[in-house]
Each structure stands twice: as structure tokens, then as C-alpha cells.
Amino acid sequence: MKKFSPLSKDFPHLLLGGDYNPEQWLDSPEILAADMELMKEADCNEMSMGIFSWDSLEPEEGVFQFDWLDERMDSIYKNGGRVILATPSAARPRWLAEKYPEVMYAPRPDRRHLFAKRQNQCLRSPVYQEKVRIIDEMLAKRYANHPALIAWHLSNEYYGRDCRCQTCRLQFREWLRRRYDNDLKKLNHAWWTPNWSRQVQSFDQIEPPENGYGEVMIPGMNLDWKRFCSDTVYDFVKLERDAVKKYSDKPVTTNCMNFFERYDHRKVATLLDFYSNDTYPTWWEGLSDDVVARYACFSALCRGMMDGKPFIQMESAPGINMAHNNFRMLKSTQLQIFEAMLFLAHGSDSVLYFQWRKGRGGCEKYHGAVVDHYGKTDNRVFQAVKTIGGMMKNMDGVVGTTICADVAIVSDYETRWAINGELEYNKDRNGYQAMTEGSFAALFKQNVAADVIGYGADFSKYKFLILPPPYMMTPALAKKIKTYVQNGGRVVSFYMAGMVDENDLTHLGGAPGCGLRELFGLRIDEMTCYDISIGKCGYENAVTYGGITYPARKHAEIPVLEGAKALGSYQKDFFAGTAALTQAAYGKGQAYYVAFQPEQSFLDAFFTDVLQAAGIQGIRAVRGDGHIRVSCREGDGERYYFVFNTSETETQSVILEEPMTDLLTGAKVTAKTSLPPLGVAVFQA
Ligand code: GLA
């Protein structure tokens, strides 16, 4: 595995820093001067600037002022820092919305947002696109060769708003014309419109789905609308990328959002030079392996966006997070360090924060920041960040290394849209993600690395594939999965596999469709969905596997076996005793089918067994007591082991198979060591 540095080769360091908003302090030169001193003091080396600065950069249409940004770029560079410079399109200036009201988002054709907040523009508005292109090109031209610049940050968390303004309505129709070759017969078939007498006679009759006075009861149409909205983001990212690339050859990214499903992040990733992501671990659920695994899984998703390459963790919170949930929990210093190292352990080349300094006003003034309103360095959060900075200074070797995983979880946006949009059976809108994260967590507890990849990835480099409900299936994908197993791969599929095609039309002839019955050696005869608010209806099932009975509280289907053997069976109802979990040999490989929606306890037991059967072991070179979790980043022949004690109360021992250097202390560690509660170590082999 070769190292790949997401950022320019001339700054080969892990990045520490984050969103810096000097435009809020332009009348306080003493604060701006202090920022530079504090940046050095905290061992921070990066500032993300310009993210919401449009009205400070272009206060009137066509009138630009860059002097303050020039000065900040120069100062940061002089003080040893680097800049990831944003395009400001996430928040438009007031003059723009006033003069061209059509740039604002319209949830309904007759109702537009007033100028307010952010991320509520119409990304298809020609005026908006033109104004964004102009400011982006101005920035790119001006800063392309600035020595502080290391990358471009396009906009901020593209939100994928489903705008229904006149422009979007018309463009949706055009988009449908292209998708269905201008052939209404094709569209009517895909949307199954004779159902409830809803046949379309002209593309001009089509309105976007709207839950109020409009249509939302045609799943195929809903799916196309999601695709259209996702393509809207894609096209806009492309517009911004092209504007910047016209003048600058610095790498381009945009900050994505874990499993946020409003747009296909994987498609957008094809436009980027490196992937970056915002994650705000809340920790309020308590610290368990499952919770830690969830955040590691987000990182696995980011790596999987770019074929395993490291990514940039663009935002997280230093201290308290005031924005993303209602429970504002303080993080201990140790937890702050744990969180930062967790990002690095799973493939990030940075720990970047929102925000560098707390503003005096605005709705984020109490959101965690490296620099508090207090303004000094002797407060806990500043010191925690400084400690993290000190640790990261010794870890330059980690830059560009990645994780070599034997297992991949295949998570697809369109499949998720389809199964989550399923109107009748799937009442649990979280099942797809729960199976993704739950499978990851089961492996994580065995110290087995997994990537989260898309259907387009090369399956052959993995020994094991996990398919969260692969509800939507095409012949080409089914062939790819079958070939993989035929050649010796192992696959675990969750329920509702291969039920529909790309238009959400069911496959005829028995599910799983597209020839997957042959692979799994079964046919799904019937399925049932239990009430997700269990307790109210009390109707649920249970599955016995390996002598233990596990709950099946959400979804269960009854397979008819056509060659597969049962590994577990239902315990209740008229179908008690029938298979709930199966295994079938196919070619040189094995195909497992989980016919119900399990909970974590089942996933932990089941994956322990299937990994063992596949001969996949957790990391051995560094291992330890029950709460020790290890990941390994490697590249150019170097190996770095990140070791975590996930217990909040117990010290855990760690065994090393060969002497290694502890990068955080510089000490040589030979055979055995220990980690205190929430302790972290990074060993170089
Ligand atoms: C998001 C945004 C930031 C900021 C943070 C607060 O992730 O990108 O601008 O609002 O939330 O947590």
C-alpha cells in the first residue's frame, strides 16, 4: 500500500485547527493579533477561512474587498499556519436575495424563503449559479498561488434542499425527459401509474412530490425526485469545482456529512481531489464499544469514498457541541483526546474543529471553540487542544497511510432511498443504517477492520462482503455479487434482498430477484413488519441461533429453502421453527442470508462465527484485554497501531508481539504495557 496525502506534498503534517471567522472581528485588531499567538500556542497549523464570508468579500454587487482576507492569509502563513479556503456559497449576502429573490429556496412553487439563515438557496437558479461562479473565480484567481493555501473547501455542507421553485419544476421535467428518453410509456411503466388512475399524458403535467397538497404516493416518482435533488447538488459542486480549478491547481474538497442521505455523497466524491467530513460525536449515549464503533464507521465510510485513501476530518467540536442535539454534554479532556485520536486511527489526516474562536453574538456563540470568550490559554478546552497538538506533532509519519481491510460493508445511497421510502412494509426508516453500523460494530469489537464501500468498488480485494438490505437489485449488480462468491468470496445479506429494480418495481418470479435465489438457495415467501414502537402492540418474534434466543422486533420474512441450510429459526407464531438465518455454498464461496432485522447482540454473536469460519482474525500484533480496540494504518512499509481502552473505569493490559515506539511518549515498548480508562496509545512498528 502506497501512502497518499490528501493535501499538497509541501505540507506533510497532520492538520490541527478549524473554522476561523475573522470577518466577525475586523474591528478588533487586537483579537486578530491574539489569534496568531494562540494558534502557535495551541500547536494548530490550519485555519479554514471564508466559509460564510460572502458579504464581507462582496458587500455590494460587483464590489469586492479582499484586503482583510489578504492580511489574514499573510499573517497565518507568517506564523507557520496554512489555510483551507472556502467558497462562500453556503450563505448568500442580503443584496443578492433582495435583488434576485429567485435565488432563495422555495419549498412550494408559491412560497419562497425570505432572506434568512443559510444553506437555503436554490442551487438551480441561473442567477445564483452565475454569482457564485463570479465570486469563486475571483477568489481562485487571487489566492491560487498564495503560499498559505493548501486546499479549497467548496461551500459548506451542501444541504440538498428539495427546492420546488419554477426553475426546479421545469428542470425536473427536463431531467425526467432525459431519464425516460422522452417516452411517457417508459415513465408510466416505471411509476406504475394506472395504480389509482394516475397516468401521465404529458411531461408538463408533472409536479415535484410534495407532502401537503401534492403527490407523495408514487415510490418510483419519489425516488426520481431524490435522484434529481442529488444531481442538483452534484451539478452545483461541479460548477464550483470548475470555477476554482480554472485558476488554481490546489486540491478541492467539500465537507460531507457521514450518512446524511439528501444527496449521493459517493457521486459527489468523484468530483473531489480528497474527501472531507464533519462528525460531531455526542457521547451522551454513554461510552460503549457500539458508540465508539459508530464514529469509527463514519471514518470507514469516508475512506471508502476514495478507494481507501485518507480523508480530512473537517469539523468536530472542541468542548461542548451546541448545535446537533438537545443534550449538551461536556467532554472530559481525556474524551476530547480519545475522540481526536479516533478520527486519526480510522483514516483521517486531520483533527479540525468548528470553531476556532467563539463569536460574541449569533446562534453559535456558546458552541465549543478552541478559544473561549475568556480569550486566554489557561482554560481546560484550550489546554486539551494544545495537548492534542503536542501529540500530533510526533505523528507526521501517519500522514497518507491508510487501513487495509479484509471486510467491506456495501452501502448504497439509492438503495437506502428506496428502502427508506418504502411506504408499506418498511416502517423502520433506520434499518439500513442500523445494519451498516451494527455490522461494523460487531467487527470492531473483534478488532477486524472494515471499509464501507459502494457498489462500484472492486469487491475482489475483500474476503468478505456485508450487504445491508440490498433491496434494490439490477441484473448487473447481481452478476457482480454472484461472480464474487463464485470465486471464493463470502457474503452476508440482510433481509428484503433483491425485491425491486431501479424504479422500485418488484422483480417478478420470486425474491431475491435477478438470479439471487440461486445464490442464497432460497425464496422469500412472505414478510411481516412489526410495530416499531414495540410495547404498544406487543407483536414480535424471536430467533434462536447457536442455542441462544434473540429478539426479532422489526422485520421478519419467511424463506422457503431451495438448497440453503438453516442456521437459526423463528420461535413464535405459526411459522415457529422455520428458517430465519441461512447459509448456502455457491461456487467456491458462501452466501449467508439474515431474514429478519436483528439487534446488536445477535450481530455480535453471528459475526464472531462467520469471521471465524472465513479465517479472518482481528489484529494480532497489538492486542489486549476485553476493552482494547486496535486499528492499523499502513503505507510505504510503515505501520502505526492506534490502541484505545474503551472502558471508562478499568485499566486494560496490552500485549505487543514485537517492540514498538510509542509515538505519544517517545518510549520504546517491548512486550507488555497497560492503558488507563479511555487511554490511547499510538505505536509505530
Ligand atoms: C455544521 C456547520 C458549521 C457549524 C457546526 C456547528 O457542521 O458546518 O458551520 O454550524 O455545524 O456544530
Domain of residue 126, CATH code: 3.20.20.80
Angle of CA points 242, 130, 276, to nearest 5°: 40
Say if residue 469 is in the same domain as residue 348.
Answer: no
In the three-class reduction of DSSP (H, G, I as helix; E, B as strand; rest coil), residue 557 is classed as strand
| pLDDT for the residue 329 | 84
User: Are residues 357 and 251 both part of a single domain?
Assistant: yes
Average pLDDT of the segment spanning 467-473? 98
pLDDT value at residue 212: 86
Ligand 1 cavity residues, CB under 6 Å: 156-157, 278, 280, 315, 321, 323-324, 354, 364, 367
Helix (H) / strand (E) containing 593: strand 589-594
Cα–Cα distance between 396 and 410 in angstroms, integer? Answer: 31
Domain that holds residue 568: 407-614
Is the residue at 130 inside a domain?
yes
- Do 26 and 144 fall within a single domain? yes
Which CA distances in Å does 636 have to 2, 306, 401? 5, 18, 8
Whether residue 417 sits in one domain with residue 324:
no
Please enumerate in sequence order all residues whose Cβ is within 8 A of that of 253, keeping only pairs 6 or more positions apart, or say none.
Answer: 6, 84, 151, 152, 153, 154, 272, 273, 274, 275, 276, 312, 314
Among residues 457, 521, 495, which one has the least CA distance to residue 580?
A: 495
Q: Do 541 and 654 lie in a common domain?
A: no
Q: Does a structural domain hold residue 222?
A: no
Within-domain flag for 191: no
Choose the final residue of a domain: 614, 631, 656: 614
Residue 146: partners with Cβ closer than 8 Å, 6 or more residues away: 73, 77, 83
DSSP element (H, E) containing 338: helix 333-345
DSSP-assigned states of every residue in 250-276: S-EE-EE-TT--SS-HHHHHTT-SS-E
Q: Which three cell numbers stand for residue 636?
A: 510505504
Reported as a single tens digit per residue, the pLDDT across 17-69 is: 999 999 999 999 999 999 999 999 999 999 999 999 999 999 999 999 999 99
> Is residue 190 over pLDDT 50?
yes
Distance of CA 441 to the CA centre of its chain: 16
- Please, what sign has the CA dihedral across residues 70, 72, 78, 84? negative
Q: Looking at 137, 157, 634, 638, which residue is catalytic?
A: 157
**Do 326 and 446 fall within a single domain?**
no
In this prediction, residue 535 carries a pLDDT of: 47
- Looking at 238-252, 284-298, 325-339, 572-586, which range is the least confident one? 325-339
355 upstream amide cis, omega within 30 of 0: yes
Query: Could you say which of 340, 372, 395 is where a domain stops?
Result: 395
Largest separation between any pair of C-alpha atoms in the chain: 76
Based on the domain organization, do 443 and 587 belong to the same domain? yes
Measured CA to CA, the distance from residue 482 to residue 323 in angstroms comes to 45
Chain centroid to CA 639: 25
Strand partners, 424: none
Check pLDDT > 90 for residue 6: no
Query: Do you find a cis peptide bond into 559, omega within 30 degrees of 0?
Result: no
**Among 227, 396, 407, CA closest to 304:** 407
CA distances in angstroms from 394 to 17, 397, 621, 632, listed in the order given: 16, 8, 22, 17
Three-class SS of 613-680: HHCCCCCCCEEECCCEEEEEEEECCEEEEEEEECCCCCCEEEEECCCEEECCCCCEECCEEEECCCCE
Cα 169 to middle of ligand 1, angstroms: 30
Q: Both 389 and 481 in a single domain? A: no
What confidence score (pLDDT) does residue 263 get? 97
Tell me how far the alpha carbon of residue 80 lies from the centroid of ligand 1, in angstroms: 26
CA of 228 to the centre of ligand 1 (A): 25
Domain boundary (395, 430, 454) is at: 395
Residue 567 maps to which CATH number? 3.40.50.880
Are 501 and 626 found together in one domain? no
Domain-located, residue 171: no
Query: How many CB atoms neighbour CB 78 within 10 A?
Result: 11
Three cell numbers written together for 345: 486511527
Residues 293 and 349 in one domain: yes
Looking at the 3D structure of the chain, how many domains does it have?
Answer: 3
Do 433 and 374 share a domain, yes or no? Answer: no
Q: What counts of helices (H) and strands (E) characterise the chain?
A: 17, 28
Distance 324 CA to ligand 1 centre (A): 8
Q: Ligand 1 centre and the CA of 623: distance in Å?
A: 37
Percent of the chain with pLDDT over 90: 91
Rounded alpha-carbon distances, angstroms, from residue 331 to 111, 160, 286? 42, 31, 11
Q: Looking at ligand 1, which atom is closest to the CA of residue 156? A: 8
Active site residue 424: no
Q: Is residue 310 part of a domain?
A: yes
Contact residues for 528 (Cβ-Cβ < 8 A; gap 6+): 555, 556, 557
Residue 56 is predicted with a pLDDT of 98
C-alpha cell at 675: 492503558
Hey, which bits of 327-393 come out as E strands? Answer: 350-353
Is a pLDDT exceeding 80 seen at residue 423? no
| 41 is known as an active-site residue | no
Both 92 and 153 in one domain: the answer is yes
As a whole number, the mean pLDDT across the chain is: 95
Atom 5, ligand 1: which residue's CA is nearest? 354
d(CA 209, CA 24): 40
Q: How far is CA 126 from CA 100, 102, 304, in A?
A: 10, 9, 34
Comparing 529 with 164, the larger pLDDT belongs to 164
Query: Which one-letter DSSP state was computed for residue 39?
Result: H
Q: Work out the average pLDDT over 377-405.
A: 97
Please tell me the predicted confidence (pLDDT) of residue 534.
Answer: 47
Residue of 54, 258, 278 with the most ligand 1 atoms within 8 Å of its CB, for mutation: 278
| Residues with Cβ within 8 Å of residue 162, at least 6 apart in sequence | 107, 208, 225, 229, 262
Hey, what's the cell of 130? 452565475
Look at residue 218 and tell me if it is in a domain: no
Taking only the tens place, the pLDDT of each residue in 86-139 is 999 999 999 999 999 999 999 998 899 999 999 999 999 999 999 999 999 999
Q: Is 448 left (phi over 0), alpha (psi -120 to 50) or beta?
A: beta
Let me know if residue 445 belongs to a domain.
yes
On the question of pLDDT at 256 being above 90, the answer is yes
Is residue 209 in some structural domain?
no
Cell 489486549 found at: 624
CATH number at residue 630: 2.60.40.1180
Q: Which of 279, 327, 364, 366 to mutate to test the pocket of ligand 1 (most atoms within 8 A of CB)?
A: 364
Residue 204, Cβ density class (10 Å: 0-12 exposed, 13-18 middle, ≥19 buried): exposed
φ/ψ bin of 615: left (φ > 0), alpha (ψ from -120 to 50), beta (otherwise): left
Backbone angles phi, psi at 523, to 5 degrees: -130, 135
